[in-house]
Amino acid sequence: MNILKSKYLLRDPDNVIEDGAVVIDDDGLIEFAGEFKDISAPESYRIIDLGDSAIVPGFINAHTHLELTHLHKSIKSNGNFTDWIRQLVDRKKGWAESEYALSVRDGITSSLRSGTTTVADITRNGIALSELLTSKIRKSLFFEIINFDPASAKETINDFKKIYTAIKTDELLSIGLFPHAPYTVSDKLYRDCKEVSEDLGVEIATHIAETKDEVEFLARGTGHFATLLKDFKMLKGWKPPELSPINYLKNIGFLENGCILIHCNYMTEEEIDLIEESKSNVVFCPRSHEYFLHEDHPFSSLKDRDINIALGTDSLASNDTLSILDEMKFIRNHYQDIKPQNILCMGTIAGAAALKMDDRIGRLDPGYYADIAVIEFMNSEVSNVYDGIFSQDSECILTMVSGEICYDKNGLAPFSN
């Protein structure tokens, strides 16, 4: 059994313990989290002393595309989303499977180095799957579903089922479905995906209400998306539903029993009501949101209601790092009215709840997986631990998933499981 000890321990965002310690059992579960002095006979354990740092629950990236990691800085944004998509498609043309695999591998490494212990990763056709399956990070793999032609929806679902049947899930791996967006997935396929997710008991998520172009496309069938889909020969007799994005999802039954909604940048108050009623989760990607020059995200309005808001980085094709710690610092700098405890909650407990894993990860309570990040900050005399965690120079120095050390910047750990 092992002990991590440090000046601060946050069992959860509201529960700060000074001179804290976490006892981790041989199965990678937390046996104790509290004051170090309350551990009897600590000398019988192997101890890692982390000094003035803060031990916090590992961060949860509720939306990313690790396979796009190698597209960092290779796409120019002028705020036109469909131009960005055209560049994305063009850059990926000719990528061999090995390029995707390396991209995923680098994405996992940089996630772990920034204290992220769980990723909800979008994977296309299970490409680079072995890289993901053998990695030590905890992952919810969401299979990306794209097909705008309702006539072949069934084949797309069958392709997913074949992959799903072949994969063995384990403690570090769960599977989800990810119909990509209303401009790449037919309403028939959305309904089929929802049905399959309920039959299999897996999570379902989608990009929604991301751009004003999407709102126009669903309302009137015009604008940049209409042009893009015509160019890609994907429109074939399609008629717009004449609904706003969230109303569209409601209308096709996608919100029933809840789901995970990525972005939700452009919504009316009535649509926010629909999200609340359905108990769906929203994932906010703050720095990707800024990259695309979107209008202010309505997340304060979402927060005022009983809506769970998790954080995602999206991919490095629209962000600078895959760090949820960086996303939280960004929120701290840009939304001064949000309490730091709430920001930390978005990067931990809310992500766990969105992925329906909040009874196992997101906090450091006995019986939970030892998914831990250790954050060091230069000025240990800060007035409170949150200022330290969100200070510009803070960084992750150690990451543990299920009790296994996956990153140890300073070589502090004299052991590994």
Site residues (CB under 5 A) for Zn ion? 314
Of 5 and 263, which has the nearer Cβ to Zn ion? 263
CA 110 – CA 263 distance, rounded (Å): 23
Residue 194 carries which side chain, given as an amino acid letter? K
Tell me how far, at minimum, the Cβ of 75 lies from Zn ion, in Å. 13
Pick from 161, 122, 163, 124: nearest CA to 146: 124
Of 8 and 148, which has the nearer Cβ to Zn ion? 148
Of 80 and 417, which has the nearer Cβ to Zn ion? 80
Tell me how far, at minimum, the Cβ of 344 lies from Zn ion, in Å. 23
Tell me how far, at minimum, the Cβ of 379 lies from Zn ion, in Å. 35
* Alpha carbon distances (Å) from 301 to 291, 345, 347: 22, 17, 18
* Alpha carbon distances (Å) from 244 to 219, 267, 309: 6, 8, 21
Of 9 and 132, which has the nearer Cβ to Zn ion? 132
Q: Within 13 A of 367's CA, how many CA atoms are on the CB side?
A: 4
Of 123 and 135, which has the nearer Cβ to Zn ion? 123
Tell me how far, at minimum, the Cβ of 64 lies from Zn ion, in Å. 7
- The beta-carbon contacts of 346-349 under 8 Å, at least 24 apart in sequence, are 346/284, 346/309, 346/310, 346/311, 347/59, 347/60, 347/311, 348/12, 348/13, 348/56, 348/57, 348/58, 348/59, 348/60, 349/12, 349/13, 349/57
Tell me how far, at minimum, the Cβ of 146 lies from Zn ion, in Å. 12
* Alpha carbon distances (Å) from 183 to 88, 97, 226, 248, 412: 16, 26, 9, 12, 49
The angle formed by the CA atoms of residues 187, 261 and 206, to the nearest 5 degrees, is 45
Tell me how far, at minimum, the Cβ of 209 lies from Zn ion, in Å. 13
Tell me how far, at minimum, the Cβ of 242 lies from Zn ion, in Å. 26
Tell me how far, at minimum, the Cβ of 66 lies from Zn ion, in Å. 11
Of 24 and 205, which has the nearer Cβ to Zn ion? 205
Pick from 287, 273, 279, 354: nearest CA to 326: 287
265, 294 Cβ separation under 8 angstroms? yes
Of 319 and 394, which has the nearer Cβ to Zn ion? 319
Tell me how far, at minimum, the Cβ of 285 lies from Zn ion, in Å. 7
Tell me how far, at minimum, the Cβ of 14 lies from Zn ion, in Å. 30
Of 187 and 314, which has the nearer Cβ to Zn ion? 314
Residue 259 carries which side chain, given as an amino acid letter? C
Q: Where are the beta strands (DSSP E) in 150-217?
A: 173-179, 203-208
Which residue lies nearest Zn ion, judged by its C-beta? 314
Of 113 and 263, which has the nearer Cβ to Zn ion? 263
Q: Which two tokens stand for residue 411?
A: 């070589």
Query: Please, which residues have CB within 8 angstroms of residue 180's CB and are 6 or more apart in sequence?
Result: 144, 145, 146, 206, 207
Of 320 and 359, which has the nearer Cβ to Zn ion? 320
Tell me how far, at minimum, the Cβ of 15 lies from Zn ion, in Å. 32
Of 186 and 206, which has the nearer Cβ to Zn ion? 206
Query: Please, which residues have CB within 8 angstroms of residue 231's CB and are 6 or more apart in sequence?
Result: none
CA 19 – CA 221 distance, rounded (Å): 59
Query: Please, which residues have CB within 8 angstroms of residue 86's CB and are 6 or more apart in sequence?
Result: 228
